Structure formats: structure tokens, C-alpha cells
Amino acid sequence: MGAWFAVGAAVVCALTPLAWIRAAALGRAHTVADVPARPTAVVLGAAAWDDGPSPLLARRLDLALALYREGRVERIVVSGDNREISRRETDTMTAYLVGHGVPDEHVEADRYGYRTWDTCVRVRDLYGVHEAVMVTQAFHLPRTIALARAAGIDAVGVGDRSMGARRRSTVIGYAREAGASLKALRDALLRPAPAHTEV
């Protein structure tokens, strides 16, 4: 009896964060064509390569470009790890967007977006984002929307659903969300300060 109780408790503990994320994001994931307009798109960082964004990051940026061109957003905030060790994600993201026609005054870079929670808190407090379209991969989108809403942002989102050449990265991304969801719920409850609080 005790063993079954332990198993049941473990299942509940594992499923509760996922259930919270799904409930918080319910009805808020959209396509470029049907997403409600917001003042700002927030693009979450991913791997940058020496010659530009990785395929996963490029897909996020292409979604942001489409949102901007369709008039769904007026500005784009890119958030990621801009240290040299990460090949300067936000510099890479900014260069890509400007190189594809977004005026540089409509792009802002949060260079300390080390984690999803940090990004949400920082863009709210330092970049004045209170309504946003969050842009990332589909596997990451529900958690991103849930954390943005927990941070007080009226968030909807658009996620890249393509698999393409980076199928392995996408599969790994879906798999890691189970563990990441527990950390997300902890962040939403404890509301830790981001690693950096300066622009």
C-alpha cells in the first residue's frame, strides 16, 4: 500500500507543473496569421553559430520578422546570453533582424536573458514590456507563456513547429520540458530575482 502511495505521489508531483503550464498557456498559442496584436515581440535566445543564428534560432527570428511585417507587433526585443562563450546571441539576433529589414530603432537587446524566467522579469522591468507575443519553438512556448504571465505580462505566443534539419534538437527540446516544468513552477512561486538586474 505504501509503495503504491509513493508511486501515486510521485506521479502527481511530476504532472502538477505540466498541468499548470498547460492551463496557463491554454488558448494563447497562435500562428502569425491569427495572433492578437501586441506592442512587442519577445524572441527567446538559442544557440548562435560563428556565421549567424543556428537553424532553431533563425526560425524564431523569421517568425518575429513575419509578425513585424504583418503589423502584429511594433518592436522586437531579443533576449539571450550575449557572452562570448555563447557567441553573443543577442548581437547575432539583432544583426539578423536588421539585416532582414527591421529598423534598428525597433529592435532592443536584453543581453542577460540567461533563463526564461530571467527574460520575462527583465523585459517587464527594464524594457517596459507588459503585453507581448512570445516567440520560440513550439516545445518551449507553453512554458514561456506561463512564466511570462506569472511575471505579470499579458502574453500570447507564436511557436515554430517545424522539425527540418534539426530534428534531434527538437526531440530533445520536447523531452527536456518535463524537467524544466518543475523549475518553471518553482520560479513562478518563489519569484527569484534575475541573475542580472542592469540593462
Q: From CA 119, how far away is CA 112, in angstroms rounded?
A: 8
Separation in Å, CA 87 to CA 15, 54, 172: 35, 11, 22
**Alpha carbon distance 138, 24 (integer Å):** 15
Q: Please tell me the predicted confidence (pLDDT) of residue 11.
A: 42
The DSSP 8-state label assigned to residue 3 in this structure reads: H
For residue 8, give the 3-state DSSP assignment: helix
Q: Which domains does the chain have, with CATH numbers?
A: 2-190 (3.40.50.620)
Check: CB of residue 192 under 8 Å from CB of residue 170.
Answer: no
Half-sphere exposure of 84 (CA within 13 A, CB side): 0
Q: Which pLDDT belongs to residue 72?
A: 98
Percentages of the chain per state (helix, strand, coil), in multiples of 5: 55, 20, 30
Whether the Cβ atoms of residue 93 and residue 80 lie closer than 8 Å to each other: yes
The pLDDT assigned to 14 comes to 56
Q: What is the pLDDT of residue 6?
A: 42
If DSSP codes are grouped into helix, strand and coil, which group holds residue 143? helix
**Using one digit for the tens of pLDDT, what is the confidence trace for 154-199?**
999 999 998 754 565 556 656 677 789 999 999 999 999 999 999 9
Task: Write down the pLDDT at residue 168.
Answer: 59
- Walking along the chain (199 residues) 10 residues at a time, the average pLDDT comes out as 46 71 97 98 96 96 98 98 95 98 98 97 98 97 98 98 64 70 95 95
pLDDT at 12: 47
pLDDT one-digit tens code per residue, 142-158: 999 999 999 999 999 99
